[in-house]
Structure 1
């Protein structure tokens, strides 16, 4: 599997994966990815900023995520805990796996590739947040060595639980 930057041509596949994620959240009564978020405009903006990546297996997009290295304003204040580090970090947003491949380790492979990306940039910290009801993501974080750090609030005021993983370079 290969993690590559998303192109404009990839948008239909990325949006198909994201829409499946939105349906899953609705069906599971998880109030995440609501109000047309994320949408095609956000993905296009991620592409322009160089944040958007896809995981490709045998020529097919199997997962997507946004990975940024220029900080996350909502992470500046963390409540009921602390970040593990105060140094440069990669932040992961908008992880989604193709619906037909869920439960096959694709999200874990995506995280492994993001770790490789961080190491290439000499960045030894990855931060991520998720909805408190998104138990599958929380289990994935714990399984992949992320440590619960506390609570952050999105610009909208929505509460999220935050995790960090410190990498060996």
Structure 2
């Protein structure tokens, strides 16, 4: 597997992956995350244009998609019921979704992000048990709760190199 930046020509494939991820969330009991068509085409295109959107390739097919944004994330400025591991510069993983449900795809993506940034933060909905399990399995530490601009709470995790 390898990871590269996504291209605008891949928008349809990326949106199909996000559609399937929303369906998977619903079948696994996560009814409240990624609702109302989130993430939408506009946001995904913005991620692609900004160089944030990445694709994990397995052979000739897309195995996963995610965004990696470096620099301070405004929603991570305040954390409740805990604290970040450190205040060093970090990358934030957003909108990770797998297209190929085989062992290790999402972990490969998270590891790649850690190699790129050395300090990674990520958040997920309380009901996203598969993602919470993955983060724990991959060595991320639960740090507390952050709130999205709309007031929705998210469980926040962080991992550093070393």
TM-score bucket of the superposed structures, by smaller chain:
over 0.9
Unaligned runs of 5+ in 1: 119-123
Provide the C-alpha distance between the structure 1 equivalents of 2:33 and 2:93, rounded to a whole number of angstroms: 15
Is the contact between residue 114 and residue 159 of structure 2 (CA under 8 Å) also seen in structure 1? Answer: no
**CA displacement, residues 9-57 of structure 1 (integer Å, 9 cap, x when unaligned):** 1111111110001112223331100011001111100011111000011
Is the contact between residue 70 and residue 92 of structure 2 (CA under 8 Å) also seen in structure 1? Answer: yes
Provide the C-alpha distance between the structure 1 equivalents of 2:53 and 2:17, rounded to a whole number of angstroms: 14
Q: How many corresponding residue pairs?
A: 161
Give the superposition deviation at 1:158.
0.6
Matched, 1:136 2:150: no
Deviating 4+ runs (over 2 angstroms): 26-29
Match of 2:97, SS? strand
**Counterpart for residue 103 of structure 2:** 104
Unaligned runs of 5+ in 2: none
Give the superposition deviation at 1:142.
0.7
Provide the C-alpha distance between the structure 2 equivalents of 1:103 and 1:26, rounded to a whole number of angstroms: 19
Provide the C-alpha distance between the structure 1 equivalents of 2:43 and 2:26, rounded to a whole number of angstroms: 20
* TM-score, normalising length: structure 2: 0.95
Provide the C-alpha distance between the structure 1 equivalents of 2:25 and 2:104, rounded to a whole number of angstroms: 19
**Counterpart for residue 121 of structure 1:** none
Provide the C-alpha distance between the structure 2 equivalents of 1:111 and 1:29, rounded to a whole number of angstroms: 23
**Counterpart for residue 40 of structure 2:** 39
Provide the C-alpha distance between the structure 2 equivalents of 1:103 and 1:143, rounded to a whole number of angstroms: 15
**CA displacement, residues 122-165 of structure 1 (integer Å, 9 cap, x when unaligned):** xx210000000111111111111100000000011111000000
Alignment of 1:114-153 (within 5 A): 114-118=113-117, 124-153=118-147
